[in-house]
């Protein structure tokens, strides 16, 4: 009887039930995170959900969003930043100096919307791609906040939740760069 197809079907369904339960526990433990342990999600371009992940985090921002961007041509992300700004979230942004020579970009759109923006021209390139949200979430990776990074490039993006210690380090670095940057009004 133990070699019957029916027996294997029963074993397989029990195994599925157990693994489903384990996955649910994993989800509860790591994502809802009752212990305060940081949790990390990763996304890959092209078309692997990077833009949607950033927009989702910005839509959930409650107090602060600090941005460091090299290039900025991603319309959904720009709209989410402006949306957060309009909700009263304190949004600030530092951009690379190449922003000055590019044609009108999303950075001009967000600057015109009233988001305080600076250009960091101290470095060969200001190549960071970082967002720090509510002193707790850090978003970073190779993913530029651009249409090309979403649609055409091979990129990665980490979304790190419940990470106040890490967020504090990124925030300190954000202000190091902000101090030697110049205000940008948009064009």
Beta-carbon contacts of residue 34 (< 8 Å; ≥ 6 apart): none
Nearest to 63 by CA among 150, 164, 146: 164
Nearest to 95 by CA among 72, 119, 75, 77: 119
How far is Cα 164 from Cα 136, in angstroms, rounded to an integer? 4
Residue with nearest beta carbon to Zn ion = 177
Closest approach, Cβ 147 to Zn ion, in A, equals 25
Active site residue 134: yes
> For residues 92-121, which are near Zn ion according to CB under 5 A?
120
Active site residue 129: yes
Closest approach, Cβ 123 to Zn ion, in A, equals 5
The answer to whether 122 contacts Zn ion (rule: CB under 5 A) is yes
The answer to whether 177 contacts Zn ion (rule: CB under 5 A) is yes
- 147/177 with CB nearer Zn ion: 177
Q: Which of 134, 135, 147, 177 is catalytic?
A: 134
Which residues is 38 bridged to in the sheet? none
Nearest to 152 by CA among 162, 163, 143, 139: 143
The residues that touch Zn ion, with contacts defined as CB under 5 A, are 120, 122, 177
**Which residues form the catalytic set?**
127, 129, 134
């Amino acid at each position: 009887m133990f070699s019957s197809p029916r027996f294997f079907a029963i074993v397989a369904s029990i195994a599925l039930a157990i693994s489903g339960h384990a996955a649910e526990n994993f989800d509860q433990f790591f994502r809802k995170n009752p212990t305060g342990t940081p949790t990390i999600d990763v996304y890959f371009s092209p078309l692997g959900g990077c833009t949607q992940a950033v927009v989702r985090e910005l839509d959930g921002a409650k107090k602060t969003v600090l941005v460091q961007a090299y290039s900025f041509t991603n319309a959904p992300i720009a709209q989410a930043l402006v949306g957060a700004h309009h909700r009263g979230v304190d949004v600030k942004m530092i951009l690379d100096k190449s922003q000055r020579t590019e044609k009108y970009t999303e950075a001009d759109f967000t600057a015109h919307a009233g988001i305080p923006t600076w250009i960091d021209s101290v470095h060969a390139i200001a190549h960071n791609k970082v967002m720090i949200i509510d002193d707790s979430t850090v978003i970073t990776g190779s993913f530029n906040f651009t249409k090309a990074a979403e649609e055409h490039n091979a990129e990665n993006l980490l979304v790190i939740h419940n990470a106040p210690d890490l967020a504090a380090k990124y925030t300190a670095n954000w202000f190091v760069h902000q101090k030697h940057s110049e205000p940008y009004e948009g064009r």
